[in-house]
C-alpha cells in the first residue's frame, strides 16, 4: 500500500488561508488522493479527492503536483471549526475495495 | 437524510466477555466498513462488507468478526475481550461498491476493564 507523509501539526490564525501538505512519492497511476478530517469527538469526515487535476469544492481546494508525488489541501479562510486532524489518504480504485489506510495525519490548531 | 448511526455509543465490558456493536448505514448505502481507533495505533481498518459479503479484512485476530444483514445494517463482534481492545470503533458507509466518499458514524467507545 502506498504511504503518505504529513507534518504532525500545524497552526493557523482564524480567517487566514491554510496549506496542509502531503507527500506521496510512491503513488501509482491508479491512486486517488483523498482528504478526510476528524473533528474532536467525531468520526472522520470526507473533505475532497482528486486524481491529477486541481479540485475545488465548498469545503476546500486540492492542489496536486504535476508529478503527483505531493499534494496540498487548501482551506481558504480557516475558522475555529476547522480545528481537526487532517488525513491524506491514497485510494486505489483498481483495488476493488473502499478500504482507507489512515496515517497519523496533521493536527491543525486554529487560533482566534 | 439521517447519517450513519452506531449503537451503543459507550460500553464498558470486563476482560474475557464478548461484545456486539451495531451500525446502521445511511439509507440506500450498501457498503459498510469498520475501523478501530486507538491513541497508539491510530485508525486501523477492520473489515468491509458489501451486499452481505465480506470483501476485505484487516490484520486483526479471529476474535474480531462481523456480518451484514440484507437491510445493510452491520454488526461487529469481539469475543474474549482483552484490555487492548479498548478503543473507539467507527463504522463508515458508502453508496456504491467503489466509492470516492465514505460517511462515518460517531463511533462506539468501548472500555475493557
Q: Where are the beta strands (DSSP E) in A1-112?
A: 9-13, 18-23, 31-38, 45-50, 55-56, 61-64, 70-75, 84-92, 106-111
**Measured between CB atoms, does A100 come within 8 Å of chain B?**
yes
Per the CB < 8 A criterion, the answer to whether A98 and B31 are in contact is yes
Report DSSP state, residue B26. Answer: P
Q: What is the pLDDT of residues B32-88, one digit of tens each?
A: 999 999 998 999 999 999 999 998 899 999 999 999 999 999 999 999 999 999 999
pLDDT at B96: 78
Q: What are the Cα distances from residue A73, in Å, to A24, A25, A33, A105?
A: 13, 16, 10, 12
Using the beta-carbon criterion (under 8 Å), do B33 and A104 form an inter-chain contact? no
CB B91 within 8 A of CB B72: no
Q: What number of C-beta contacts closer than 8 Å exist between A and B? A: 61
A78-102 pLDDT, tens per residue? 999 999 999 999 988 766 788 888 8
- pLDDT tier at A112, thresholds 50, 70, 90: very high
Nearest to B48 among A34, A93, A98 (CB): A98
Position A1 scores a pLDDT of 63
Amino acid at each position: 500500500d502506498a504511504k503518505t507523509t504529513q507534518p504532525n501539526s500545524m497552526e493557523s490564525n482564524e480567517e487566514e488561508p491554510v496549506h496542509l501538505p502531503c507527500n506521496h512519492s510512491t503513488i501509482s497511476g491508479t491512486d486517488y488522493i483523498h482528504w478526510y478530517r476528524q473533528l474532536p469527538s467525531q468520526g472522520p469526515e470526507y473533505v475532497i479527492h482528486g486524481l491529477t487535476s486541481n479540485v475545488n469544492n465548498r469545503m476546500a481546494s486540492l492542489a496536486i503536483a504535476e508529478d503527483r508525488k505531493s499534494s496540498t489541501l487548501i482551506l481558504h479562510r480557516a475558522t475555529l471549526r476547522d480545528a481537526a486532524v487532517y488525513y491524506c489518504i491514497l485510494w486505489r480504485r483498481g483495488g476493488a475495495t473502499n478500504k482507507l489506510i489512515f496515517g497519523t495525519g496533521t493536527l491543525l490548531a486554529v487560533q482566534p | 437524510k439521517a447519517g450513519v448511526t452506531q449503537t451503543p455509543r459507550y460500553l464498558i465490558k470486563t476482560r474475557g466477555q464478548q461484545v456486539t456493536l451495531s451500525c446502521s448505514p445511511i439509507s440506500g448505502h450498501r457498503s459498510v466498513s469498520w475501523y478501530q481507533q486507538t491513541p497508539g495505533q491510530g485508525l486501523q481498518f477492520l473489515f468491509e462488507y458489501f451486499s452481505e459479503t465480506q470483501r476485505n479484512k484487516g490484520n486483526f485476530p479471529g476474535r474480531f468478526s462481523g456480518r451484514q444483514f440484507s437491510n445493510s445494517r452491520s454488526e461487529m463482534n469481539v469475543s474474549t475481550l482483552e484490555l487492548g481492545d479498548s478503543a473507539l470503533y467507527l463504522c463508515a458507509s458508502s453508496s456504491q461498491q467503489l466509492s470516492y466518499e465514505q460517511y462515518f458514524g460517531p463511533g462506539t467507545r468501548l472500555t475493557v476493564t
